[in-house]
Amino acid sequence: MKVRNQRLRRSSLHSPQFSVRGARATLALGGGGARGIAHLGAIEVLRGLGVRIERIVGVSIGSLAGALCALNEDIGNVQERVINLVTSDEFVQQQAKMFSTTPASDEAANSGLFAWWDQFSRFLGTRRQMLNLISRPSLLTAEFIENTIADLLPDIDIRDARLPLTIVALDLQSGRQVKLTRGSLRLAVLASTAIPGIFPPVEIDGKQLVDIGVIDTLPVAVARDYGSDLTIAVDVGAEIEPSESLDTAKDIFLRISDVTERHVRHYTRGMADILIRPEVAGIPWYDFSQPAELLEIGRIAARNAFHNKFTPYLPKTGESQPV
């Protein structure tokens, strides 16, 4: 019955009677580091078009953006808070310290672990420090991410959000996807942003949870299961770029990880009724220095996605209003 209903819903999108304004939507927000700021620009346009977002599903940075918008109806205020945070002296200094080994902007075509780890290993070289780090639960502590989440989100239960919210993570022990819809909001977002091996796992209900984005960074399948009129996906991940010769087992392993994530994401994109694809490939995944540009990139991508699919049925200029 669910499959039949989904087919009927998808076919109705092409009907002249289908109206974007008032359509119920579940929003799937993907991972992509700093590029996730573009989510907030896309959501601004969705609300302006009158799309009724009834649930947000987020992975990694998408879980943080989703939580902010699920709590606060004023998207302008959300954007302002994020800009103020990521441009603050404290954030810039802490981020520079944590990612001091990150590639320069001309090396940032890849958004996955491959480019980051390559630079990290070059920095450490063959020193004993490298072996000591690999024996730890994670390369970095969670302090920076914890502080960022605490600055942006209240310490409340997920169920207390204004909009229903689903935060997706991976349980390391069972290997299964976990959908968090109750419990500490801060802890859930922390789990969903904990890059495996880079940041420590987060224990929730006896599970060791991490960012599932290294495998499935776009939670469209989860979003579709909620049965809204529209499943809208915002993909801020990077595309695969050609690589130079891979000479070590480490290089090959990490390259396969990046390639696998991209292939899974390309497959899940097709499950969305509307795909919003911000042009963020030129912005390094760790670079939070251009928030205003990222917001505008998100706005442009959302307008283009809806214009291409619903041109005859979109509201005229001046008719937009926030939901």
- pLDDT, one tens digit per residue, over 269-291 is 889 999 999 999 888 888 899 99
pLDDT tens across 153-174, in order? 999 999 999 999 999 999 999 9
Three-state secondary structure along 30-48? Answer: CCCHHHHHHHHHHHHHHHH
Does the pLDDT value for residue 40 go beyond 90? yes
Query: Could you tell me whether strands 202-204 and 207-210 are parallel, antiparallel, or unpaired per DSSP bridges?
Result: antiparallel
Q: Are 180 and 189 in contact (CB under 8 A)?
A: no
Does the pLDDT value for residue 28 go beyond 70? yes
Q: Are 81 and 91 in contact (CB under 8 A)?
A: no
User: pTM higher than 0.85, yes or no?
Assistant: no
Does the pLDDT value for residue 228 go beyond 60? yes
pLDDT at 12: 57
Backbone angles phi, psi at 119, to 5 degrees: -70, -40
Confidence class for position 255, pLDDT limits 50, 70, 90: confident
pLDDT at 10: 53
Does the pLDDT value for residue 132 go beyond 60? no
